[in-house]
């Protein structure tokens, strides 16, 4: 199975946003810069994540993106399905019923064994992704990655996050 590179970008951006403090946001352009991606390409995926309820988009000059829910409640499956769609990777076209050797439809009462095997693999793949929480991915990175990489990424987030005023601190 091949996933689009948008999945990688979406997961990395969500992981980066897990490091944003409180109600702060991160501009899409900063995330595009961090990963060497075209801003317009990345914004397409950030908007998809927003529409799926994974990210929240805050408009305005100090706006940007932030996680819409805690990282503990976001799975890799959530992100993959948001970017790639809900359809299964394998879609059986019943080609066994085509061509010169095809038989009457009554010969194909049992499900196609190839389709059964592929759907079983799809279910296993989705279960594994559903078990992988964004918070666990981030925690593993922080504990296992080269400390220079962690420090550089934390500094990038700190430098580019945009604090947001909460409604309770606004003056009447």
Task: Dump pLDDT digits (tens) for 68-124.
Answer: 999 999 999 999 999 999 998 888 999 989 989 888 889 989 989 999 999 999 999
pLDDT at 37: 97
pLDDT at 168: 46
pLDDT > 90? residue 33: yes
For the structural domain made of 5-87+134-160, what CATH number should be given? 1.10.10.10
DSSP state of 107: G
Closest alpha carbon to 40 in 51, 32, 50, 30: 32
Q: Is 71 helix (H, G, I), strand (E, B) or coil?
A: helix
Global confidence as pTM:
0.86
Structure tokens at 92: 């059986």
Q: Is 21 helix (H, G, I), strand (E, B) or coil?
A: coil
């Amino acid at each position: 199975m091949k996933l689009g590179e948008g999945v990688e970008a979406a997961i990395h951006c969500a992981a980066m946003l897990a490091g944003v403090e409180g109600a702060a946001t991160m501009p899409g352009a900063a995330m595009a810069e961090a990963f060497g991606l075209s801003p317009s390409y990345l914004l397409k995926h950030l908007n998809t994540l927003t529409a799926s309820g994974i990210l929240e988009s805050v408009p305005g000059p100090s706006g940007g993106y932030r996680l819409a829910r805690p990282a503990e409640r976001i799975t890799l499956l959530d992100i993959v399905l948001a970017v790639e769609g809900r359809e299964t990777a394998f879609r059986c076209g019943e080609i066994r019923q085509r061509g010169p050797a095809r038989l009457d439809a009554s010969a194909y009462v049992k499900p196609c064994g190839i389709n059964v095997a592929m759907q079983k693999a799809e279910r296993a793949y989705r279960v594994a992704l559903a078990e992988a929480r964004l918070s666990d991915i981030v925690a593993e990175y922080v504990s296992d990655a080269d400390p220079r990489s962690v420090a550089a990424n934390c500094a990038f987030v700190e430098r580019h996050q945009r604090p947001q005023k909460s409604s309770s601190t606004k003056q009447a």
